[in-house]
Amino acid sequence: AQMVLASLLQSCVWLLVLPAHVFTYLGLWDSFYKKVFPYIMAKMAPAYNHKVCKQKQALFSNLRTFAGPSGQLTLLEIGTGTGTNFQFYPPGCRLTCTDPNPNFSKFLLKSLSENQHLKLERSVVASGEDLHQIPDGSMDVVVSTLVLCSVGSVQKVLAEVLRVLRRGGAFYFLEHVAADHSSWTYFWQKVFDPLWKCFGDGCSLSRETQKELEKTNFSELNLKHIYVTPHWIPSSPHIIGYAVK
């Protein structure tokens, strides 16, 4: 009965966002929203970063242990966006940034100017599913935060992560995920999914990213479930951790 009600409410939400779907069908929504979305993220990202600051500090505290023989850390960030993770990366880090949306570039440059302890090697406009511009086994670390919720295929992104990582390199992640299926949080995730996808640039509330990570051929997976405040919002359930190739 709960899922029938969720489907009914989801249909109501879908009707609310129908104009956006019409614009999408006409090919007008994506080009418009891809210009607007970076401004929205630039406003929202600092507040989110403040909420998960301690978790991010703990997550990235051992990045240096994955540095190559030269002692320098080569790091690829997928879906860099406005560069909100830069402050957590160690000094001298050789950084490669990718994002499918070129409209983030001015926000990225601003973040780099505020984090001069980093060295930007290159910035590439590319989706996580196709990182062909990054050579095989060239990265010590790959980072993805709040990205796997909106990619077309988590499986393809993780395959690319494995390809570009050197053996013994690590993939760091912080992602919001589906709640327990018997919970009211999952109920509301299913209800609001159409709205969230429309205004979150394809972001899904009910994606079970942890299952894809478990299926991927990593030699080691360190994963924990956390809840980001406020706990009542549908995007509160998260996974955080790192996996070793």
Low-confidence ranges of the chain (pLDDT < 70): 1-3, 6, 10, 13, 17-29
Q: Kindly list the distances between the CA atom of residue 133 and the CA atoms of 56, 68, 74, 169, 179, in Å, as whole numbers in the listed order.
A: 28, 21, 15, 19, 35
Q: Quickly tell me which residue has 């992640």 as its tokens.
A: 173
Query: What value, to the nearest 5°, has the Cα angle with vertex 22 and ends 19 and 27?
Result: 130
Q: Structure pTM?
A: 0.89
The enclosing domain of 172 has a CATH number of 3.40.50.150
What range defines the domain where residue 237 resides? 1-244
Which pLDDT score, from 0 to 100, does residue 4 have? 73
Which pLDDT score, from 0 to 100, does residue 122 have? 94
Which pLDDT score, from 0 to 100, does residue 142 have? 98
Q: Which of 243, 228, 244 is nearest to 51 (CA)?
A: 228
- The sign one gets for the Cα dihedral 201, 240, 213, 124 is positive
Distance CA 98, CA 85 (A): 13
Sequential DSSP letters for 52-110: THHHHHHHGGGGGGG--TTSPPEEEEET-TTTTTGGGSPTT-EEEEEES-GGGHHHHHH
pLDDT, tens digit, for every residue of 47-82?
999 999 999 999 999 999 999 888 899 999 999 999
Which pLDDT score, from 0 to 100, does residue 238 have? 98
Domain count, the chain: 1
Paired tokens of 76: 């690829």
Give all strands of the β-sheet with 94-99 in edge-to-edge order. Answer: 119-125, 94-99, 74-78, 139-145, 165-176, 237-244, 220-227
Q: Quickly tell me which residue has 């978790």 as its tokens.
A: 55
Which pLDDT score, from 0 to 100, does residue 17 have? 66
> Which letter, b or e, does each residue of 173-212 get, where b requires 16 or more Cβ atoms within 10 Å of its Cβ?
bbbbbbbeeeeebbbbbbbbbbbbbbebbebbbbbebbee
Residue 225 parent element (H or E): strand 220-227
